[in-house]
Amino acid sequence: MSNLDAAQLTADLIRCPSVTPEEGGALVLLGDLLTEAGFEVSRADRAEVSNLVARWGQKGHAKTFGFNGHTDVVPIGDANAWSVDPFGADIKDGILYGRGATDMKSGVAAFVAAAVDLVKDTPPDGAILITVTGDEEGPALHGTTAILDHMAQEGEQMSVCLVGEPTCPNEMGDMIKIGRRGSLTAWFTYRGIQGHSAYPHRAKNPLPAMAKLMDLMASHELDQGTDHFDASTVAVVTMDTGNPATNVIPAECRSTVNIRFNDAHSGESVTEWMQGLVNQVIDETGVLIEMAVKVSGESFITPPGDLSDLVARAVTAETGRVPELSTTGGTSDARFIKSHCPVVEFGLVGKTMHQVDECVPVAQIHQLKAIYARILSDYFAA
The residues carrying an active-site annotation are: 72, 136
> What is the rounded CA–CA span in Å between residue 78 and residue 96?
20
> What is the rounded CA–CA span in Å between residue 49 and residue 47?
6
Say if CB 112 and CB 40 are below 8 A apart.
Answer: no
Say if CB 214 and CB 201 are below 8 A apart.
Answer: no
Identify which of 230, 151, 216 has the alpha carbon closest to the alpha carbon of residue 186: 216
Strands of 166-283, DSSP E: 175-177, 179-180, 182-191, 195-196, 233-240, 248-249, 252-261
Say if CB 20 and CB 135 are below 8 A apart.
Answer: yes
Q: What count of residues does the chain have? A: 382
Cis peptide before 175 (omega within 30 of 0): no
What phi and psi, each to the nearest 5 degrees, are found at residue 19?
-70, 130
Contacts of 276 (CB under 8 A, 6+ apart): none
> What is the rounded CA–CA span in Å between residue 103 and residue 359?
9
In one letter, which amino acid is 353? M
Helices 26-36 & 6-14, crossing angle to 10 degrees? 150
> What is the rounded CA–CA span in Å between residue 348 and residue 257?
30
Contacts of 239 (CB under 8 A, 6+ apart): 210, 211, 214, 253, 254, 255
94 backbone φψ class: left, alpha, beta (φ>0; ψ -120 to 50)? left
- Residue 49 DSSP SS3: strand
Quickly count helices (H) and strands (E) in the chain: 9, 19
